[in-house]
Amino acid sequence: MNVALLGYGSVGSAVAEALIENKEIIKARCGEEIKPIIALARSPKPNALISVVSDVNEILKREDIDVYVELMGGVEFAYELVYKLLKEGKKVVTANKAMLAYYRYELESLVGKLAFEASVAGGIPIIKALKEGLAANKIISIKGILNGTSNYILSAMSERGDDFEDTLKKAQKLGYAEANPSFDISGEDAAHKLLILASLAYGIRAKPEEILCEGISDINALDMYFAKEFDYTIKLLGIAKAQDFSVELRVHPTLIPKDTMIAKVNGVMNAVSIVGDLLGESLYYGAGAGGKATASAVVANLMEFARENYFEPMLGFKQNLPFTLLKKEEIFTKYYLRLKVEDKIGVLSKITNLMSECGISVDSFLQKPKINEPHSTLFFTTHKSYEKSIRKLLKALKEQEFIKASPFMMRIEE
Ligand code: HSE
């Protein structure tokens, strides 16, 4: 089986290397050799493994290619190319979560075959788990650490008090971060992946802009201090929860109890916890980024094509189920607030009055003793409240003259 690699960066070259290094084992397991024969790169360099070209037409005009592997990233150009290939009935493997987050339903309706294991959680076979192993379950919830770069940064901040920017640079050097690392930091990359999982579990057609998505860039050492004091860990989670036929989808930094399994997932590792009505909780853990880990998933899809046992998604994107997306404002959960305030009489009572006006009940409170600082930092956690109530409170707090920095909020999952 001949393969063209549309994209030859860290993942593309890792796929070519894996196909060559593990040639014997791959052939033994799927009955034929899978050969990377041509690759597309922006600036091709002489290469001993594979012929590398910069003009996609040189690949498209060839008639000896059995499967195309799209590893270019980006949305529109990749979509046009994959659309054309699938429309012509070709087989495509993609790792492109951003493209799928926007166009998965358009692509699924075409005649060709699309496999996308590497698009979510790198090397973890989570797509296969949802499509096949869990196919009999009603999916009650999915909670995942779906972005390796942000987990790498949060782990370093929490374990060693490392600086945000330096850790991001290290993640970029190691090849974990996206070409545009703001996708990692802003939660967008995790949101793209959550949408793919939510489509497989619920047939939810939402686009990235429609779901709640917040990143990690406002988390600071004070939040890490609070988390430690109250036995929490901070993780950027992608969360899908179904109640009846309403599904909430959200990506945000989250305080989770430090003794849960997912709280112990550190560094670039990803983990996804899925609760099904039959199985209960199952947890999938592994490398979520990096060339080799992603190549593991890409090559597994190529082997499925070689074996001709590629299944149409059984829990496919186009499920005929009546799930709808819960409005962001209707999300109901616990919240954490960090407020920098003027240290004077009456401030605390004004804050709790505003909370009570917004229908929010305090669960815990901490005032960090001041050392040579002009202002005090107050930490609150709330009982379960509606997102719309918290937003109303944050708006009201911002208008108070005793609030000395933009209030910071995180959600809590227990
Ligand atoms: N930038 C992504 C991450 C790579 O850090 O998880 C895998 O999608």
Cα distances from 89 to residues 84, 85, 108, in angstroms, run: 9, 7, 12
State residue 400's pLDDT score.
Answer: 97
pLDDT of residue 313: 45
pLDDT tens digit sequence for 170-228:
888 888 888 788 999 999 999 999 999 999 999 999 999 999 999 999 999 999 999 99
Ligand 1 nearest atom to the CA of residue 178, by list position:
1
Q: What share of the chain is helix, strand, coil (3-state, %, to 5)?
A: 40, 25, 35
174: closest CA among 10, 363, 366, 414? 10
| Atom of ligand 1 at shortest range from CA of 190 | 6
When pLDDT is averaged across residues 359-363 and rounded to a whole number, the result is 97
In the block, residue with structure tokens 């495509």: 92
Output 163-166 pairs: Cβ under 8 A, ≥24 positions apart.
Answer: 164/217, 164/219
Residues having CB within 6 Å of any atom of ligand 1: 122, 147-149, 176-178, 184, 189, 288-289
pLDDT in tens, 98-151: 999 999 999 998 999 999 999 999 999 999 999 989 999 999 999 999 999 999
> Is the pLDDT assigned to residue 361 strictly greater than 70?
yes
6 phi, psi to nearest 5 deg:
-90, 85
The torsion angle over the Cα atoms of residues 186, 190, 192 and 198, rounded to 10 degrees, is -140
pLDDT at 8: 95
Tracing tokens 């997912």 back to the chain, one arrives at: 262
Cα dihedral value 71, 293, 212, 96, nearest 10: 10
- How far apart CA 376 and CA 159 sit, in angstroms, is 25
pTM over 0.85: yes
Pick the catalytic residue from 90, 97, 143, 193.
193
Instruction: Sort strands 246-257 and 139-145 into parallel, antiparallel or unpaired.
Output: unpaired
Q: How far apart are the first and last CA of the chain?
A: 48
pLDDT score at 311: 59
Q: Please determine, for residue 319, whether its predicted confidence score (pLDDT) is greater than 90.
A: no
Q: What is the CA radius of gyration of the chain?
A: 23
Q: For a substitution probing ligand 1, which of 189, 194, 269 has the most ligand atoms within 8 Å of its CB? A: 189
